[in-house]
Amino acid sequence: MSAEHVDLELDCRGMLCPLPIIELGRRVGEVPLGGVVAVVATDLAARHDVPAWCRMRQQEYVGEDAAADGVPRYLVRRLS
């Protein structure tokens, strides 16, 4: 597990591309500036899509860890 504090965790298990990214884009505004959103996703494309979304949207990709059940979890810090 990451030591990073998570403000909002999105359960995107079972969603296929591009749904995890759509959910991230729709909900990132729910956390304060500097807050962290975790995207838990079983879709393998999320490993590339989340960092790419961060670059395009000028947000910070913090990294990847795992949810309690071992599913990959991608961390995004809201910068704007």
Q: What CATH number is given to the structural domain containing 55?
A: 3.30.110.40
pLDDT of residue 4: 80
Which H or E run includes 48? helix 46-57
- For residue 60, being part of any structural domain is answered with yes
Domain count, the chain: 1
- For residue 3, being part of any structural domain is answered with no
59: left (phi over 0), alpha (psi -120 to 50) or beta: beta
| Best CA proximity match to 38, nearest among 23, 52, 16 | 23
- For residue 59, being part of any structural domain is answered with yes
pLDDT tens column, 33-79: 999 999 999 999 999 999 999 999 999 999 999 999 999 999 999 99
> Residue 24 belongs to what domain range?
8-77
List active site positions. Answer: 17
63: Cα within 13 Å, side-chain hemisphere: 7
pLDDT tens column, 12-21: 999 999 999 9
Q: What's the pTM?
A: 0.94
- With 80 as the cut, is the pLDDT of residue 2 above it? no
Q: Which two tokens stand for residue 35?
A: 């807050």
Contacts of 71 (CB under 8 A, 6+ apart): 13, 40, 41, 42
